[in-house]
């Protein structure tokens, strides 16, 4: 009975359908996995200059700098609007009553209240500032502030590009360190094998074997650390580029020696004065503060404005409708406003003084940056020369120690010491090459010579 029930619940057709559903589900899973594999992000192949440009385009700090330019441009347009013609349209239709006694008319022959009556008027109004030095200087101040914001944005772009370059060079340094560590491990494994062979021949001792194995283990540990350093460096590089952490990055440049002539320090300092965006921005701020102070001082002067209006007036738009107009020249001159203008003038003077102090400090900072970057560049040039010489000597020492050990002239300790010296020399050369690249980046940044294509005009597409 149970078997009949079982067969009734699962006929052959049902089993076939279930199998088809299983196959369909399996194919769906395979299709999803294949689609994800195909749609995975393609590798990002970048040179150093491309990485710097991408960072400027993608990084949040660059976007914020462009947004600040938009804000400054909007303020500049706002200040300019006060000097342009102002055109407006006005209209009204009223129905009202008037209490004559409330207006001062209490004659017996006059009614107390008149109305209700209608009143209509419509006009096109035009006003134009003819003379107002305060507004003109406010506009000049806004223009200088926009210039300052654009120069600050340029400084931000250069710093973002330099940070990306640092990350790029650090990643190259990590790759070289990984390659160097692999070479050290290969050498340690070869020496370990040689030591085991010589122990079998009775030339080496068990202590030599343990020492060789210790060296191999140490370089295996260094290899794992080098791989971790490379992974961390690539992660930081992606962050500096402003790309997804899942995007593979392929670096096309290599960590090679830069054979560039060392510039003259005095000439570099003069170039920094002309090119450093931070210094130029400080000067623009001083100009803006001077214009702002002039605007506050000009607030004591009279201003002249032309106003005019034209349009229909009547009881309603169609009853007693007559066209009327008005126009005239208006002179305005402040006499006393409780000392507000004087207070604004004092505040503007203080802001100008602060801007000049900031300019002086920025000049000193730029000079210090160039001098420090120049000294670091000289140091890295010398370090690279010594590192190359040291590596050549270490390789020669390693060859001699290996030959002496193979011929039974020296013990294994001499080989281990030579091996450690060689590993240190390789690492020193990698560090010297990376330091040279970073020193040049710092020197270009100190002079304001990091050139990147940027949108320093602002986006102006807020919708």
> Is the pLDDT at 454 greater than 80, yes or no?
no
Q: What is the pLDDT of residue 195?
A: 80
More confident residue, 440 or 28: 440
Provide mean pLDDT across the span 244-259. 89
Partner residues linked to 91 by β-bridges: 122
Average pLDDT over the chain, rounded to an integer:
85
Residue 200, domain extent: 44-86+133-302+340-447
Domain count, the chain: 1
Q: What is the pLDDT of residue 458?
A: 47
In a domain, 458, yes or no: no
- Category of 458 on φ-ψ map: left (φ > 0), alpha (ψ -120 to 50) or beta: left
In a domain, 330, yes or no: no
Q: Where are the beta strands (DSSP E) in 248-345?
A: 249-251, 303-314, 322-332
What are 268's two structure tokens?
């570099």
* Three state DSSP letters for 4-72: HHHHHHCCHHHHHHHHHHHHHHHHHHHHHHHHHHHCCCCCEEECHHHHHHHHHHHCHHHHHHHHHHHHH
Confidence band (pLDDT; 50, 70, 90) for 19? low
Provide mean pLDDT across the span 118-142. 93
> Is the pLDDT at 20 greater than 70, yes or no?
no
Q: Provide the angle, in degrees to the nearest 10, between the axes of the packed helices 133-200 and 60-81.
A: 170
pLDDT in tens, 318-346: 877 888 889 999 999 888 888 888 999 99
In a domain, 18, yes or no: no
CB 414 within 8 A of CB 401: yes
Distance of CA 380 to the CA centre of its chain: 28
Q: What is the pLDDT of residue 78?
A: 92
CB 131 within 8 A of CB 303: yes
How far CA 78 is from CA of 242, 295, 360, in Å, comes to 34, 16, 31
Q: What is the pLDDT of residue 28?
A: 53
DSSP string, 302-315: -EEEEEEEEEEEES
Neighbour-count burial of 405, counting CB atoms closer than 10 A to its CB (0-12 exposed, 13-18 middle, 19+ buried): buried
Q: What is the pLDDT of residue 106?
A: 78
Q: What is the pLDDT of residue 154?
A: 94
Q: What is the pLDDT of residue 4?
A: 36
pLDDT in tens, 211-240: 888 888 988 998 999 899 999 999 999 999
> Is the pLDDT at 71 greater than 90, yes or no?
yes
> What proportions of the chain, in percent to the nearest 5, are helix, strand and coil?
65, 15, 20
In a domain, 122, yes or no: no
Provide mean pLDDT across the span 149-177. 93
Q: How far apart are CA 289 and CA 284, in angstroms?
A: 9
More confident residue, 202 or 29: 202
pLDDT in tens, 271-316: 999 999 999 999 999 999 999 999 999 989 999 999 999 999 888 8
pLDDT in tens, 74-104: 999 999 999 999 999 999 999 999 888 887 7
CB 66 within 8 A of CB 150: no
Q: How far apart are CA 261 and CA 254, in angstroms?
A: 20
Provide mean pLDDT across the span 361-379. 95
More confident residue, 403 or 20: 403
Q: Which of 438, 33, 2, 394 is nearest to 183 (CA)?
A: 394
CA angle 45, 51, 55 (to 5 degrees): 130
Q: What is the pLDDT of residue 453?
A: 67
In a domain, 7, yes or no: no
Answering whether pTM is above 0.85, one says no
Q: Are strands 113-131 and 303-314 parallel, antiparallel or unpaired?
A: antiparallel
Residue 87 neighbours by CB distance under 10 Å: 10
Neighbour-count burial of 359, counting CB atoms closer than 10 A to its CB (0-12 exposed, 13-18 middle, 19+ buried): middle
Q: Are strands 44-46 and 322-332 parallel, antiparallel or unpaired?
A: unpaired
Q: How far apart are CA 367 and CA 111, in angstroms?
A: 87
> Helices (H) and strands (E) in the chain — how many of each?
10, 6
In a domain, 321, yes or no: no
> Is the pLDDT at 41 greater than 60, yes or no?
no
In a domain, 27, yes or no: no
Q: How far apart are CA 151 and CA 73, in angstroms?
A: 13
Neighbour-count burial of 455, counting CB atoms closer than 10 A to its CB (0-12 exposed, 13-18 middle, 19+ buried): middle
What are the residues whose beta carbons fall under 8 Å from the beta carbon of 34, sequence distance 6 or more?
none
CB 421 within 8 A of CB 435: no
Q: What is the pLDDT of residue 5?
A: 32
> Is the pLDDT at 17 greater than 80, yes or no?
no
Q: Which of 215, 180, 226 is nearest to 387 (CA)?
A: 180
Residue 66 is part of a domain; what is its CATH number? 1.20.1600.10
Q: What is the pLDDT of residue 288?
A: 96
Q: What is the pLDDT of residue 403?
A: 85
In a domain, 78, yes or no: yes
Confidence band (pLDDT; 50, 70, 90) for 446? very high
pLDDT in tens, 386-410: 999 999 999 999 888 888 877 777 7
């Amino acid at each position: 009975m149970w078997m009949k029930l079982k067969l009734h619940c699962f006929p052959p057709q049902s089993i076939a359908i279930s199998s088809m559903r299983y196959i369909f589900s399996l194919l769906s899973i395979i299709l999803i996995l294949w689609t994800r594999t195909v749609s995975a992000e393609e590798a990002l192949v970048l040179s150093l200059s491309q990485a710097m440009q991408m960072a400027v385009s993608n990084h949040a700090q660059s976007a914020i700098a462009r947004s600040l330019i938009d804000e400054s441009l909007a303020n500049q347009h706002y200040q300019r609007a006060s000097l342009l013609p102002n055109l407006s349209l006005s209209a009204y239709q009223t129905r009202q009553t008037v209490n004559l006694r409330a207006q001062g008319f209490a004659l017996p022959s006059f009614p107390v209240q008149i109305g209700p009556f209608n009143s209509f008027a419509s006009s096109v109004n035009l006003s134009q500032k003819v003379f107002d030095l305060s507004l003109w200087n406010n506009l000049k101040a806004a223009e200088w502030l926009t210039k300052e914001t654009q120069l600050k944005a340029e400084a931000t772009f250069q710093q973002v590009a330099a940070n990306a370059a640092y990350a790029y060079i650090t990643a190259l340094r990590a790759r070289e360190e990984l390659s160097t560590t692999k070479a050290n491990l290969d050498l340690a494994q070869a020496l370990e094998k040689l030591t085991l062979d010589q122990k079998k021949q009775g030339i080496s001792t068990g202590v030599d074997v343990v020492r060789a194995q210790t060296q191999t283990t140490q370089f295996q540990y260094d290899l794992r650390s080098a791989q971790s350093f490379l992974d961390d460096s690539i992660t930081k590089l992606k962050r500096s580029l402003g790309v997804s952490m899942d995007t593979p990055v392929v670096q096309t440049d290599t960590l090679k020696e830069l054979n560039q002539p060392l510039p003259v320090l005095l000439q570099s300092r003069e170039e920094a004065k002309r090119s450093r965006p931070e210094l130029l921005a400080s000067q623009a701020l001083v100009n803006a503060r001077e214009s702002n102070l002039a605007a506050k001082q000009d607030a004591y002067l009279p201003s002249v404005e032309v106003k005019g209006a034209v349009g229909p007036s009547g009881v309603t738009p169609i009853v007693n409708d007559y066209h009327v107009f008005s126009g005239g020249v208006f002179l305005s001159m402040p006499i006393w406003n409780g000392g507000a203008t004087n207070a604004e003038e004092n505040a503007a003077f203080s802001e100008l003084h602060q801007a000049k102090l900031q300019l002086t400090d920025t000049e000193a900072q730029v000079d210090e940056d160039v001098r420090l970057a120049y000294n670091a560049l000289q140091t890295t040039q010398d370090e690279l020369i010594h590192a190359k010489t040291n590596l050549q000597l270490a390789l020669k020492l390693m060859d001699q120690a290996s030959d002496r050990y193979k011929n039974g002239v020296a013990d294994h300790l001499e080989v281990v010491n030579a091996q450690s010296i060689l590993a240190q020399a390789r690492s020193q050369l990698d560090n010297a090459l990376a330091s040279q690249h970073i020193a040049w980046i710092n020197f270009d940044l100190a002079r304001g010579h990091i050139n990147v294509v940027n949108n320093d005009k602002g986006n102006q597409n807020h919708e």
